[in-house]
Amino acid sequence: QLAAFDSATPGVFSSVLNVTGIDGQTLRGIDFRPSTGQLFAFVQPGFGQPGFSQSGSIFTIDTGTGAATFVSAVPSAGAVDYGFAFNPVPDRIRLVSGDNTNLRINPVTGEVLTDTPLAYAATDPNAGVNPTVTGVAYTNQNPGQQTSTVLYGIDAATNSLVIQNPPNMGTLNTVGSLGVSLFDFGTGPGTGFDIDGATGLAFASLTTATGSNGLYSINLATGAASFVGGFDPATTVRDLAVGTLGGNVNVPEPASALIVTLGVIGLAAARRRMQAA
């Protein structure tokens, strides 16, 4: 399902859409393509389906109806928790995962380039730590800003904000601690992360070590995560993207943004469906 909410009130969904056309597969990540405004998604076979955690697909999703349209296959995806974001400069998708996969995907042709796996720089304070980056986001997502960008990530292994630079080399550089202990994302819901191109504000849906799932603002200079508000206890948000849903206004006021989330409404029921698939 896709849901929309204002960043000032994350516990109140203004709309919820059922995603159709993915044949029982599981939505893993979403992001808006800056050059077209389309919502793209990364999808995997669900639990029990052939190819689970070994393959995936890219779809576009109509934000007015929830209808998904197949774009291309991603045969080399091999995990269950992902970071999914558009690089606005070359117009390519960056797909990373908790097993340190680092891919570039052409949204038109579907070409997949396998880059160097994620690892901390040799001089970084976290050098030698095996990262678990499951949320990534690029700066400068608005049209007209697309001459430079920075790729940020959230590492659940170190509970920190990182910069991936050079991106194709998978080199991680620590910005600072989130100040929040995150859930073990090997089997968890993952991290939603995006940066508002209009304001530069960064938002993340984080699941803490205690299991609470809420919206946080992220200080890109220090890494500090500040709690904004919790989601409905019956909802687990897997990913988020700042943008529009069904033609709603992108940024209602400077301090807030309309956020589209990839979530599961009624988690227990959703788990039963996944296990039975």
pLDDT per position as a tens digit, 40-59: 999 988 655 555 556 789 99
Query: Do 203 and 240 touch, CB atoms closer than 8 A?
Result: yes
User: Which residues in 176-203 are b (16+ Cβ under 10 Å) and which e?
Assistant: eebebebbebeebbbbbbbbbbeeebbb
**Cα radius of gyration (the chain):** 17
Tokens 């992108």 sit at which residue? Answer: 250
CA 241 to chain centre: 7
Question: The CATH number of 2-276 is which of 3.30.1360, 2.115.10, 2.60.40, 2.50.20?
Answer: 2.115.10
pTM score, whole prediction: 0.87
Compute the distance between CA of residue 12 and CA of residue 235 in angstroms, rounded to an integer.
11
Q: For 15-19, 59-63, 248-252, 258-262, which range has the lowest pLDDT when averaged over its residues?
A: 248-252
For residue 86 the two structure tokens come to: 């558009």
Question: What's the pLDDT tens digit per position in 144-154?
Answer: 666 899 999 99
Q: Average pLDDT of the chain? A: 83
Name 172's bridge partners.
Answer: 120, 164
Q: For 88-92, 195-199, 217-221, which range has the lowest pLDDT when averaged over its residues?
A: 195-199
- Residue 115's SS3 state is coil
Reference 112, options 194, 57, 61; nearest CA is 57
CA 166 to chain centre: 20
Question: What's the pLDDT tens digit per position in 83-108?
Answer: 999 999 999 999 999 899 999 999 99
Return the biggest CA–CA distance within the chain.
48
